[in-house]
């Protein structure tokens, strides 16, 4: 049975399998590798995942969710229609869709997976990811850091020379910077830093805010659907800017049309706050690196890495323009597929080894003296230690005749324990004696799968052992059953209907945007599609899909064309002409 590699992204998710000596991406029902990480609850109680759900962000914002990966590990509920979901439940729907698509594509029973997570994900976030996979019906063989996966694939596919590489993964919602050392068959990750609330979404938000400010609009008072439409246009314009010099963004509100011409210079300016945060993460990765030495190469991965202005910024920062990896938004998935191949011990991968580092520090809370009421951290494993890591510390009693030593285990970088994430606690008995005379030795072992093992042995011989896994993974059977039942009741929209749903949602979105004859024509197309789908056989369906897609593509071009043309005109004379032309047309329609 194959093990599947999964890149569960903030924006897009992908599945990959190692077959016949190569990493092969698995297409979804629409034939695409990238499945948008979007979930929408339909009126009939089923759940739609992927491109069709992303379309519904605009038409049904109140029952659709996206970018929920940034909330993983928290208890933040998202309301879809009448129901409310935790971030891991929403992720479970995406993972279930990937499982279904994988089984259909490979035509074999599949359940084991290696899943990638941002390097900077803490224990809660990693556990929520595992839980999501379990809820979706996957068995998780391993979690792997996204940049490790990218580095692994880059190394394997390009046969890149030995050396130090910095991988900058700039996606929709997360930034990961890692430094890897490639030496012969070993890929060693020597430092990682990241920000799991920083990505292309933040750039989109900055543009949206600027748009509103320039047009005297308040984002809060915009209708949800207008807000979504604006966000969509902003993203399209941002992506277009990598090829074009400028792109226009427009928003129709009743009679008024609001607009903004986005130029590279403006985008660069709007990105400054985001880029400053990127700079801080890069500098932290460089500082954390154990050994001093030059970076031989910087490799850019992730969707946002394709932004020209991002390349410009890095060129300024590094004095040399870094290369964007081939397939920047698929490389993580390909790497996870490769890792799954290693996990399944594919013969052709046997000589590839990978080591990893701990993404955060681990330690126990400790008091300086009996008057000390605010415990601070005694770190046993520091951030960027190579895995597996084992470290010990000795702690003594503070009071006379103290009976036990209690250890609270934390993860994080804060000085005070309360600033960090508590993972668990452990207590050992000690024999009576004056303060400071009794002690316990605490051992932390952080293994390659990111699981912490803690033992404490007291001077009296008492030994306590504890495997720290997040409590949420320690659900009792009853709790797990309930958690499963909660989302199992909800079915994914029927197989084979994805394409139909997607085309329908696409048509409905265009319908909302269109006016006049265009709208009438779209109504006709929708009617035609619905009527024929009703009694079409499989091969006829395929033809209908193709025809519908072709039509919609043309409508999309026509509908988007006007604002774009309008926006690129430089001198205002042309602008006036166009406005007049537009007014005329409006009158025509009303007649």
Where do contacts with ligand ADP occur on this chain (CB under 6 A)?
A: 9-12, 171-174, 199-201, 235, 238-239, 242, 302-304, 306-307, 329
Q: What angle, rounded to 10 degrees, do the helices at 200-214 and 264-288 form?
A: 150
Task: List all residues 6 or more positions away from 104 whose beta carbon is below 8 Å from its beta carbon.
Answer: 29, 495
Min. distance of Cβ 25 from ligand ADP in angstroms?
A: 13
CA distances from 481 to 68, 94, 261, 374 (A): 24, 20, 53, 40
**Smallest distance, ligand ADP to C-beta of residue 13, A:** 7
CB within 8 A of 420, min separation 6: which ones?
377, 410, 411, 412, 413, 414
CB of 156 to Mg ion, least distance (A): 18
- Which DSSP string do the residues of 282-333 spell out, in sequence order? HHHHHHH-SS-----EEEEESGGGG-HHHHHHHHHHHSSPPEEPSSTTTHHH
Q: How far is the CB of 69 from ligand ADP (least distance, A)?
A: 7
Decide: is 9 part of the binding site for Mg ion (CB under 5 A): yes
Residue 388 Cβ vs ligand ADP, minimum distance, rounded to whole Å:
28
Q: Name which of 181 and 201 has its Cβ closer to ligand ADP.
A: 201
Using CB positions, name the residue nearest to Mg ion.
Answer: 171
For ligand ADP, the closer of residues 147 and 363 by Cβ is 147
Instruction: Provide, rounded to whole angstroms, the least separation between the CB of residue 150 and Mg ion.
Output: 9
Closer Cβ to ligand ADP, 146 or 188, answer by number: 146
Nearer to ligand ADP, 171 or 359 (CB): 171
Listed ranges 166-174, 243-251, 255-263, 360-368: which one lies at the site for Mg ion (CB under 5 A):
166-174
Contact criterion met (CB below 8 Å) for 179 and 297: no
CB atoms within 10 A of CB 563: 19
The window from 170-178, 233-241, 441-449, 469-477 that contacts Mg ion (CB under 5 A) reads 170-178
Q: Which two tokens stand for residue 422?
A: 């508590």
Closer to ligand ADP by CB, 238 or 289: give it.
238
Contact status: 147 vs Mg ion (CB under 5 A): no
Q: Is 171 in the site for Mg ion (CB under 5 A)?
A: yes
Min dist CB 455 to ligand ADP, Å, is 37
Taking phi over 0 as left and psi of -120 to 50 as alpha, with beta for the rest, 506 belongs to alpha
Residue 568 binding target from Mg ion, ligand ADP, none, CB below 5 to 8 Å by type? none
Cα separation of 302 and 169, whole Å?
A: 5
Kindly indicate which of the ranges 5-13, 65-73, 204-212, 429-437 contains the residues binding Mg ion, using the contact rule CB under 5 A.
Answer: 5-13
Cβ closest to Mg ion, residue 72 vs residue 362: 72
Residue 36 touches which of ligand ADP, Mg ion, none (Cβ within 5-8 Å per kind): none
Q: Edge-to-edge, what's the strand order for the sheet holding 404-411?
A: 376-381, 362-366, 404-411, 421-429
Using CB distances below 5 to 8 A depending on partner kind, what does residue 341 bind out of ligand ADP, Mg ion, none?
A: none
Least Cβ distance, residue 9 to Mg ion (angstroms): 4
How far apart CA 129 and CA 474 sit, in angstroms, is: 14
Complex with ligand ADP: residue 29 or 201, whichever CB lies closer = 201
Element (H, E) at 341: helix 331-343
Q: List, as one string, the DSSP characters of 46-114.
A: -EEESHHHHHHHHH-GGGEEE-GGGGTTS---EEETTEEE-HHHHHHHHHHHHHHHHHHHHTS---EEE
CB within 8 A of 410, min separation 6: which ones?
A: 362, 363, 364, 365, 377, 417, 420, 421, 422, 423
Distance between CA atoms of residues 488 and 142, nearest Å: 24
Binding range to Mg ion, per CB under 5 A, among 2-10, 388-396, 446-454, 490-498: 2-10
Crossing angle for the helix pair 516-533 and 538-568, nearest 10 degrees?
Answer: 160
Least Å distance between CB 170 and Mg ion?
Answer: 9
Comparing CB distances to ligand ADP, the nearer of 239 and 378 is 239
In the complex, minimum distance from the CB of residue 61 to ligand ADP, in angstroms, rounded to a whole number: 18
Residues in 384-413 at the binding interface with Mg ion, rule: CB under 5 A: none
Asked if residue 173 binds Mg ion (CB under 5 A), the reply is no
Closest to Mg ion by CB, 173 vs 424, is 173
Which of the listed partners (ligand ADP, Mg ion, none) does 497 bind, with a CB threshold of 5 to 8 Å by partner kind?
none
Per partner kind, with CB cut-offs from 5 to 8 A, the member of ligand ADP, Mg ion, none near residue 56 is: none
Q: Quote the least distance from Cβ 234 to ligand ADP, whole Å.
A: 9
DSSP run (H or E) holding 396: strand 389-396
Q: Helix (H, G, I), strand (E, B), or coil: what is residue 21?
A: coil
- Rounded to an integer, what distance in angstroms lies between the CA atom of residue 173 and that of residue 187? 26
Short-list 409, 357, 401, CA closest to 383 = 357
Q: How many CA atoms lie within 13 A of 62 on its CB side?
A: 6
Q: Which is nearer to Mg ion, 8 or 246 (CB)?
A: 8
Nearer to ligand ADP, 9 or 87 (CB): 9
Q: Closest Cα partner for 49 from 494, 580, 540? A: 494
Smallest distance from ligand ADP to CB 164, Å = 24
- The interface region with Mg ion, picked from 4-12, 374-382, 450-458, 548-556 by CB under 5 A, is 4-12
Q: Which two tokens stand for residue 288?
A: 């954390």
235 binds, among ligand ADP, Mg ion, none (CB under 5 to 8 A by kind): ligand ADP
> Which lies closer to Mg ion via its Cβ, residue 118 or residue 563?
118
Q: How far is the CB of 173 from ligand ADP (least distance, A)?
A: 5
Pairing of strands 439-446, 175-183: unpaired
Give least dist CB 382 to Mg ion, A. 27
Q: CA 331, CA 146: separation in Å to the nearest integer?
A: 9
When the beta carbons of 6 and 47 are compared against ligand ADP, the nearer one is 6
State how far Cα 322 lies from the chain centre. 23
Does 50 interact with Mg ion (rule: CB under 5 A)?
Answer: no
Q: Which is nearer to ligand ADP, 101 or 329 (CB)?
A: 329
Binds 337: which of ligand ADP, Mg ion, none (CB < 5-8 Å by kind): none
State the residues that interact with Mg ion by CB under 5 A: 9, 171
């Amino acid at each position: 049975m194959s093990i599947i590699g999964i890149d569960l992204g903030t924006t897009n998710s992908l599945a990959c399998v190692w077959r016949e000596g190569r990493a092969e991406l698995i297409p979804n029902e629409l034939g695409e590798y990238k499945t948008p990480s979007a979930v929408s609850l339909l009126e009939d109680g089923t759940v739609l995942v992927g491109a069709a759900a992303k379309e519904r962000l605009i038409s049904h914002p109140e029952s659709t969710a996206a970018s929920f990966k940034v909330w993983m590990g928290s208890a933040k509920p998202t309301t879809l229609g009448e129901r409310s979901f935790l971030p891991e439940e929403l992720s479970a729907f995406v993972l279930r869709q990937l499982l279904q698509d994988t089984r259909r594509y490979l035509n074999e029973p599949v359940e084991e997976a290696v899943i990638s997570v941002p390097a900077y994900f803490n224990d809660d976030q990693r556990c929520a990811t595992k839980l999501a996979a379990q809820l979706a019906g996957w068995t998780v063989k391993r979690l792997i850091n996204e940049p490790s996966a990218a580095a692994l694939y880059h190394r394997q596919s390009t046969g890149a020379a030995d050396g130090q590489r910095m991988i900058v993964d700039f996606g929709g919602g997360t930034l990961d910077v890692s430094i890897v050392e490639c030496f012969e068959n070993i890929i060693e990750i020597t430092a990682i830093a990241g920000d799991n609330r920083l990505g292309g979404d933040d750039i989109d938000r900055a543009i949206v805010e600027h748009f509103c400010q320039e047009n005297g609009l308040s984002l809060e008072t915009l209708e949800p659907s207008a807000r979504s439409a604006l966000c969509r246009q902003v993203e399209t314009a941002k992506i277009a800017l990598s090829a074009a010099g400028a792109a226009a963004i427009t928003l129709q509100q009743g009679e008024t049309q609001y607009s903004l011409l986005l130029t590279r210079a403006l985008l660069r300016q709007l990105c400054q706050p985001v880029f400053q945060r990127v700079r801080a993460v890069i500098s932290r990765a460089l500082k954390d690196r154990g050994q001093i030495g030059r970076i031989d190469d910087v490799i850019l991965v992730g969707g946002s890495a394709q932004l020209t202005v991002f390349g410009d910024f890095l060129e300024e920062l590094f004095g040399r323009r870094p290369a964007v990896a081939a397939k920047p938004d698929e490389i993580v998935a390909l790497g996870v597929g490769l890792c799954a191949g290693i996990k399944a011990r594919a013969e052709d991968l046997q000589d590839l080894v990978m080591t990893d580092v701990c993404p955060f520090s681990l330690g126990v809370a400790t008091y300086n003296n009996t008057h000390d009421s605010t415990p601070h951290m005694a770190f046993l494993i520091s951030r960027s230690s190579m895995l597996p890591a084992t470290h010990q510390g000795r702690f003594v009693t503070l009071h006379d005749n103290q009976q036990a030593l209690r250890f609270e285990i934390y993860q994080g970088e804060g000085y005070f324990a309360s600033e960090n994430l508590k993972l668990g606690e452990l207590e050992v008995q000690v024999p009576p004696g004056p303060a400071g005379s009794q002690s316990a030795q605490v051992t932390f072992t952080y293994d390659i799968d990111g699981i912490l093992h803690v033992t404490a042995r007291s001077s009296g011989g008492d030994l306590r052992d504890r495997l720290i896994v997040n409590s949420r993974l320690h659900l009792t059977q009853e709790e797990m059953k309930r958690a499963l039942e909660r989302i199992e009741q909800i079915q994914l929209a029927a197989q084979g209907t994805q394409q139909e749903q997607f085309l329908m949602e696409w048509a409905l979105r265009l319908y909302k945007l269109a006016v006049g004859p265009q709208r009438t024509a779209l109504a006709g197309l929708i009617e035609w599609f619905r009527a024929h789908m009703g009694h079409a056989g499989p091969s006829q369906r395929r033809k209908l899909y193709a025809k519908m897609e072709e039509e919609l593509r043309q409508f999309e071009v026509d509908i988007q064309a006007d604002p774009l043309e309008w926006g690129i005109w430089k001198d205002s004379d042309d602008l006036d002409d166009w406005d007049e032309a537009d007014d005329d047309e409006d009158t025509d329609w009303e007649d």
